[in-house]
Amino acid sequence: MTTPPPLSTSGCPMLHGAAFAARPNAVYEQLRTQGPAGWAEIAPRVHALVVTNHRAAVTLLNDTNTYSKDSRLWADLANGHVPQDSPVLGMMAWRPSVLYTDADEHARLRWAMDDCIARISPHRLREITRRSALALITRVIARGQADLMADFADMVPMLVFADLLGCPPEKTDQMVRACQDLISAGPEAAQGAADFAGLLFELIQLRRARPGQDLTSWMINHGAALSDDEALNQLFCVTGAGLIPTAAATAWTLHLLLRDDEYAGNLAAGTLTVRRALDKALWERAPMANFSVHFARHDTYLHGVPVPGGVPVLISHAAANTDPALPSGLSYDSQAHLAWSAGPHRCPAISQATTIVQTAVETILDQLWDMTLTDESAKPLLRHGPFHQCPQTMPVTFRPKSADRIPATAIAGGTS
């Protein structure tokens, strides 16, 4: 019999630490024994209700009268019961951005967010992604080996976002380093967040003086009349919410295509698109495993489960997508998965994220067509933390090739 994952000192399943990273599905099974939602420890001394039932998740995500996104309602945080250095505060503490607002304020900020994202040309986005991917491939192509996470999947969205934000070339490396620290699970994350915010502040001042065709310029000049603080946090939100999920979706799609004989064979035969592999990866490996944090405005019930007011309620997109109560014949082509969340806070950049993942995956498969996983039998270890479902590493090997096979003109205007 398999040993169940350890419980916290309060007797709750733990959505953090090595045990959770090693066996997340076993922890979700523990949570399901409590009903559609169950109590979990998401960080030391920090507890939340976690929704694992798909139907209950959809109910909550669409019930704006009962549930709020404003984390200033978090009772334990307001009462000083959450450690000031808790690793979850970076994702859960209130900011003046679309992620933490409701009703009219959310509508105003979401209007700006949707408008600015919609201005991104799909053709330009594909070109930026392809350029960035090719620049990264040139760094490893002669080695015959690479880590698809550190060398590729993590880096592509960082380079793409730096370009979309209008970051000057001389600042790109600095922004990438800040983003690398920001998405880490270590103590450098707080400094990375501060460094990234500082760079965004500089960028806002630059684009106020010299507007361009970029997200920063569009955001600060939008009709929603955002303050600099709001614009900064909107840009922080769109970047922070996009980096790891896009990296994880890229990695899981590649892992599926490289490991699954059926998918790999069909891809080689030209009968399977990368998009279909991505759809399966989103169902099975939701990049945002547990997020969409809400707070009940008052004591209530969610599908029979008591929900105290002021308690964080997380949606387990990963557990909801694998809910045993879902119809058995549900196809991976179905868009009923919750990887993008649902309701008024559904991801505003689904098309753009899909374009980045597809283009990145197609580019590396085209250039490193003979790569294989170093250990095809190994299940990738996940990064620690409650929110993301992202591999730590994904080593591959391939026949070394000359970097000259990628013309310099193909990556012109790309990265340093």
Residues 33-43 as b/e (b if ≥16 CB within 10 A, e otherwise) read ebbbbbbbbbb
Task: Specify the pLDDT at position 137.
Answer: 96
> What is the pLDDT of the chain when averaged over all its residues?
91
Task: Specify the pLDDT at position 264.
Answer: 63
Task: Specify the pLDDT at position 85.
Answer: 85
Task: DSSP for 295-336, please give it.
Answer: EESSSEEETTEEE-TT-EEEEEHHHHHT-TTS-TT--TT-S-
Packing angle of the helix pair 155-164, 228-259 (nearest 10 deg):
150
What's phi and psi for 312, nearest 5 deg? -65, 135
Task: Specify the pLDDT at position 99.
Answer: 94
What's phi and psi for 290, nearest 5 deg? -140, 110
The identity of residue 293, as a single letter, is V
Q: Which of 130, 131, 145 is nearest to 416 (CA)?
A: 131
Mean pLDDT by 10 residues, the chain (416 residues): 75 93 95 97 95 98 98 97 89 92 97 97 97 96 96 95 93 84 70 87 94 96 95 92 92 91 60 82 94 97 98 98 89 86 95 96 93 87 91 95 79 55
Tell me the β-bridge partners of 316.
290
CA-based end-to-end distance of the chain? 52
SS3 249: helix
Task: Specify the pLDDT at position 362.
Answer: 93
Task: Specify the pLDDT at position 232.
Answer: 95
pLDDT digit string, tens, across residues 166-221: 999 888 888 888 877 777 666 677 788 888 889 999 999 999 999 999 999 999 99
Distance CA 353, CA 121 (A): 13
CA angle 341, 52, 96 (to 5 degrees): 40
Both tokens assigned to 401: 């090739």
Q: What is the sign of the dihedral through the CA atoms of 159, 165, 170 and 175?
A: negative
Task: Specify the pLDDT at position 416.
Answer: 36
SS3 194: helix
pTM, full prediction: 0.93
Residue 172's H or E segment, with its range, is helix 169-182
